[in-house]
Amino acid sequence: MDPRKYNIYFHTHTISGIIIAALLYVIFFAGSFSFFKDNITAWQKGKSTKAEPISADYNYLLDSLGKQYDLRGRNIDFFYLKQAQGAYVSMSTSQDTIISKPKATAKKEGRRGRGAANEDAAYFLYYFADKTPTSYAEGYDMGEFLYRLHFLAQLNQLPIHIGTPFGYLLAGIVSFLFLFALITGLFLHWEKIKTNFFLFRPFSKWKTVWTDMHTALGVIGFPFQFVFAVTGIVLIVNFVLIAPFSKLLYEGNEEQIYEDMLFNKNIKVDYTYTPLDSPFDLNTFVAKWESTWPNATISRMYIRNFLDKSMQIGVEFKPKSSAAFSGSGYALQDIASGKVLSYKSPTDDGTYVDGVKSLIYHLHFGDFGGKPLQIVFFILGLMGCMVIISGIVIWLVARDKTNVPLYKRRFNFWASNFFLAGCLSMLPVTAFTFVMLKVVPVINQSVIYQLYFYSWLLLGIYLMALRNLARMNRHVLVLSIITCFAVPIANGMRTGLWLWNTWRMGATDIFFIDILFIVLSICCLYAFLKMKKQAKPFQVLAKK
């Protein structure tokens, strides 16, 4: 390779990689656990969706709401959680001017928060198994936390006002830089990609060990990482990509472009002030469409002008991966006449938009191949974490030379010390938070934030204070062994759902999380024993 091109690729790869190293590690680590989001939710709540399939009782929900509100003329939207174990429910004020109340001036808690109690509208999270409405913050769980952490959503709460959510913007920038690091890294190793594909020399000097690990795992995991970089960019910054088209082709009407891209539905129905002639059974209505499309699952439902003669209901369905890789179904029905106003099969009437959306979502979330594929994606995600860690160490060792000025060597060491402390502490902190979920009596968004971020901060400061990367690694492994193994023990002691019980009950979602942490504990134990037996002295600035 031409030396000039090599230097360009090398410096672009190094600079882009080191800038995003810590944040990219957080994204990969949290994203890897996010593949099991539903399992984590079931584990935390102690209610398996595998052992006891959930039956949604919509009539019960409407009756409960009817005791607090007059439901006539209201628009009620259901945005279902994955596997339809619950839904976010949004209820508007009534179209009937006799029923509707003036809007309260009190502030709302936020886009996902529940409105103030004196407002005539409502927004809440509803789990069908619990049959109890709750706010987003009150129903927050560890699966949601890790899922949102993997695109840095928690940073949106910082008081940084730049016209767009700060966390999302930062995650998008990291994704872009990651794409640069991937491509330039591939160019760097292109000429030796065949000879060095599986080259790994664990008994050489430490720099060689880390270099081989970085190169081998990076090249092997390149397709996976490239897919996640591209799909992550599309998902996190889609508003930036869509904005020019909305102005050019839709004359600034962003609502219309989002509707054409099947992100939402805008159903407008005139209110007639005439009640329905007969009682309405929402359970029967949903069951009818579920039997019509047995190979699909409901994803959204829109009720317009409830109990009025003009009442219409739209339902959206997504095909199961076993039936179709892409597609979306939609039906809009007039309740008084029973006439279907709009119809699109989720498995037979796929469009180009369906294909593109499904491709991006399925590749990013790994939900098209069942649990085996999610496990493969989880392992590849952790491999990405190893590539990042090895890259940080390579960067440090390459610059820890006597010909480098002392102030630069100190800066390099403390930068690496900071990055590694923040990255390596995530596993024991995550396992510790899982354990505490079974100890703390009340769990909500605030409690999870405090458990995770405070323990992460304290452990990170402790590891940085060690000023020794080898000791840092040993302490992290010991803590990981203990906390990971404590996860299934805490679950069994608090709920009685020991491994053998969940297996016997068929609660494979809860069983899987316990087994996952046991495997992680065993892997950490193996790494600790190998490191203790075979590790060679690894000195950096702090030891000189």
Q: What is the pLDDT of residues 304-340, one digit of tens each?
A: 999 999 999 999 998 887 778 888 889 999 999 999 9
Residues 442 and 527 in one domain: yes
Residue 442 buriedness (CB in 10 A; 0-12 / 13-18 / 19+):
exposed
Q: Please give the Cα distance from 266 to 303 (Å, whole number).
A: 11
Residues 433 and 503 in one domain: yes
More confident residue, 241 or 335: 335
Q: Model confidence over 245-260: pLDDT tens digits?
A: 666 666 666 666 666 5
| Across 200-227, average pLDDT | 72
In a domain, 472, yes or no: yes
Residues 442 and 332 in one domain: no
In a domain, 139, yes or no: no
Asked if pLDDT for residue 77 goes beyond 90, the answer is: yes
Instruction: Single out the residue in 362, 387, 417 at which a domain terminates.
Output: 362
Residues 352 and 463 in one domain: no
- Provide the residue type at 420 as one letter: L
Residues 420 and 522 in one domain: yes
Residue 543's pLDDT is 45
Return the exposure string of 273-305: e unless at least 16 CB atoms fall within 10 Å of the residue's CB, then b.
Answer: eeebeeebebeebbeebbeebebbbbbbbbbbb
In a domain, 367, yes or no: no
Look at the chain and report how many structural domains it folds into: 2
Residue 110's pLDDT is 40
Q: Model confidence over 277-297: pLDDT tens digits?
A: 888 999 999 999 999 999 899
pLDDT band with cut points at 50, 70 and 90 for residue 533: low
Residues 439 and 509 in one domain: yes
- Provide the residue type at 449 as one letter: Y
Residue 511's pLDDT is 95
Residue 72 buriedness (CB in 10 A; 0-12 / 13-18 / 19+):
buried
Strands, E, within 374-455: which ranges?
Answer: none
Indicate the pTM of the whole model.
0.86
Residue 118's pLDDT is 43
Owning domain of residue 86:
58-103+111-128+262-362
In a domain, 446, yes or no: yes
Residue 488 buriedness (CB in 10 A; 0-12 / 13-18 / 19+):
buried
How many percent of the chain have pLDDT more than 90? 36
In a domain, 92, yes or no: yes
Residue 259's pLDDT is 65
Residue 107's pLDDT is 41
Structure tokens given for 300: 């959204």
In a domain, 208, yes or no: no
Q: Model confidence over 457-480: pLDDT tens digits?
A: 999 999 999 988 888 999 999 999
Instruction: Single out the residue in 362, 384, 410 at which a domain terminates.
Output: 362
Asked if pLDDT for residue 502 goes beyond 90, the answer is: yes
Instruction: Give the pairing of strands 86-91 and 340-344.
Output: unpaired
In a domain, 409, yes or no: yes
In a domain, 65, yes or no: yes
Residues 539 and 406 in one domain: yes
Q: Model confidence over 92-136: pLDDT tens digits?
A: 998 888 877 655 544 443 444 444 444 678 889 998 888 888 888
Of 162-166, 188-192, 298-302, the poorest mean pLDDT is in 188-192
Q: Which element (helix H / strand E) includes 30?
A: helix 3-34
Of 117-121, 273-277, 416-420, the poorest mean pLDDT is in 117-121
pLDDT band with cut points at 50, 70 and 90 for residue 430: very high
Residues 338 and 419 in one domain: no
